[in-house]
Amino acid sequence: MTGERARGRGRTGLPTIRDVAAEAGVSIATVSRVYSGDRPVMPDTRERVEAAARKLDFTMNAHARALKGAADGPIAVLIGDIMGASFAALARGAEREAAERGRLCVVGTTDADPDREAAQVRLMREHRATAVILVGGASDLAEYRARMDDYQRLLATVGSRLVLCGRPALEGHAPDALVLSYSNEQGAFDATAELLRSGHRRILALPGAAGYSTASTRLAGYRRAHAERGVAVDESLISESAFSRDAGRAATERALDDGAEFTAVFAGSDATASGVLAALHSRRIRVPEEVSVIGFDDVPAALDMHPPLSSVAVPYEEMGRLAVSLALGHQGEPPPEPTILPTTLVLRGSTAGAPQSAPDRAPRAR
């Protein structure tokens, strides 16, 4: 059709609200009321409008609805590293819960950079996100809490909710934020206590980077397990470095080169544990006959390590689902008390009792 618009199609080739109004025999304002939900519409009128929309394959523009304050904005999940299996599991849970509720979920990465995180939060505010879910630990706690205050105030101006997952306690800051966490310290305690129960007395600890909240909490669990068993902690067996395979391997090799005596390793993440196993295998040190290894997170790859890795399971996917559920269920309401999900110690082939022949000797490289 030349020079004219086909009936039921706008200039872009897509149907417009004007086309739906003409098809239904109602005003444009009536169609707008049907989609905005801000004023009542007679049932037969609503039925005619919806029938016309189906016939024309019309979808109300979400941005236009947002400008009217009527849109159900997206659920935003901001994570440090999209390649991390634990972060990916949480994002998957959030996306599935949002989809089941008919909501759009968007995932952004911050590279653990506060400036990038702040920019992403501002962007989600511009898009009038219903909730912004921030995932992962933090380092400078005073700066972090002040930043959460700023985020909460910023998001509140558009009716958006700040949701914190696995982040440090706010201690009076950002009072309207929803907070979810997991028993991080208890998980590290359970892992270390199991090694101590099995006869290990010298346990190399690789809890994560110094000053990072997740790592410091796991180190606290390691220390508490020793204290409750009456076993002194050898500070030389604590090596704080990043949650990564390379960091785990380097720390283990350094300990072996220094002649450190240990019969077990508590790794603050499964990625770290994979590096530990690589270092031990390269030195021909048998796992678990000579050294036992426990990780943290229980990512799917733990089953494929050699031997299969004992680990502390964290319900990341459940946390993602719950974050969305809480955000949508408490819109405009005061936040509930922080929710703490339990962790579970999963024992596999990488752990065994301490070697009886020489429990306090350094593992020998062959």
Cα–Cα dist 85/299, whole Å: 6
Class of domain 184-314: alpha beta
Which among 108, 106, 86, 89 is positioned nearest to 98, based on CA atoms? 106
Cα–Cα dist 319/153, whole Å: 24
> Would you state the pLDDT for residue 59?
67
Question: What is the number of other CB atoms lying within 10 angstroms of the CB of residue 162?
Answer: 24
Q: How much of the chain, in percent, has pLDDT values that exceed 70? A: 89
Q: Find how far residue 100's CA is from the centre of its chain.
A: 19
Q: What is the pLDDT of residues 296-309, one digit of tens each?
A: 999 999 999 999 99
> Would you state the pLDDT for residue 70?
43
Whether the bond between 207 and the residue before it is cis, its omega within 30 degrees of 0, is no
The two tokens of residue 278 are: 């690589």
Average pLDDT over the chain, rounded to an integer = 88
* pTM listed for this prediction: 0.79
**pLDDT higher than threshold 70 for residue 10:** no
> Average pLDDT, stretch 159-180?
92
> Would you state the pLDDT for residue 3?
38
Give the containing element (helix H, strand E) for 106: strand 105-109
Phi then psi for residue 252, to 5 deg, are: -70, -45
CA dihedral of residues 225, 319, 265, 205 (deg, nearest 10): -60
Cα–Cα dist 75/331, whole Å: 13
Q: What is the pLDDT of residues 48-57, one digit of tens each?
A: 988 998 888 8
What confidence category does residue 73 fall into, taking pLDDT thresholds of 50, 70 and 90? confident
Residue carrying the six token digits 């109004």: 21
Whether 51 and 23 have beta carbons less than 8 Å apart is answered as no
Q: What is the pLDDT of residues 212-239, one digit of tens each?
A: 999 999 999 999 999 999 999 999 999 9
Cα–Cα dist 153/159, whole Å: 10
Q: What is the pLDDT of residues 315-354, one digit of tens each?
A: 999 999 999 999 998 877 788 889 999 999 999 999 999 9
The two tokens of residue 102 are: 């008919």
CATH code 1.10.260.40 for 17-67: yes
The two tokens of residue 86 are: 């634990």
Whether 275 and 242 have beta carbons less than 8 Å apart is answered as no
Q: What is the pLDDT of residues 261-304, one digit of tens each?
A: 999 999 999 999 999 999 999 999 999 999 999 999 999 999 99
> Would you state the pLDDT for residue 357?
64
Question: What is the number of other CB atoms lying within 10 angstroms of the CB of residue 43?
Answer: 8
**pLDDT higher than threshold 50 for residue 35:** yes
Of 33 and 120, more confident: 120
Which among 218, 182, 192 is positioned nearest to 314, based on CA atoms? 182
DSSP label at residue 235: G
Cα–Cα dist 274/282, whole Å: 12
Whether 188 and 222 have beta carbons less than 8 Å apart is answered as yes
Q: Find how far residue 267's CA is from the centre of its chain.
A: 19
**pLDDT higher than threshold 50 for residue 69:** no
Q: Is it true that 17-67 and 184-314 share their CATH fold?
A: no
Give the containing element (helix H, strand E) for 293: strand 292-297
Give the containing element (helix H, strand E) for 364: none
> Would you state the pLDDT for residue 37?
60
Q: Find how far residue 152's CA is from the centre of its chain.
A: 19
What confidence category does residue 33 fall into, taking pLDDT thresholds of 50, 70 and 90? confident
> Would you state the pLDDT for residue 139?
84
Domain regions of the chain by residue span: 17-67, 75-182+316-342, 184-314
Whether 173 and 142 have beta carbons less than 8 Å apart is answered as no
CATH code 3.40.50.720 for 75-182+316-342: no
Question: What is the number of other CB atoms lying within 10 angstroms of the CB of residue 227?
Answer: 12
Tally the C-alpha atoms within 13 A of residue 90's C-alpha that lie toward its C-beta: 28
Phi then psi for residue 365, to 5 deg, are: -80, 140
> Average pLDDT, stretch 173-190?
95
The amino acid at residue 185 is E
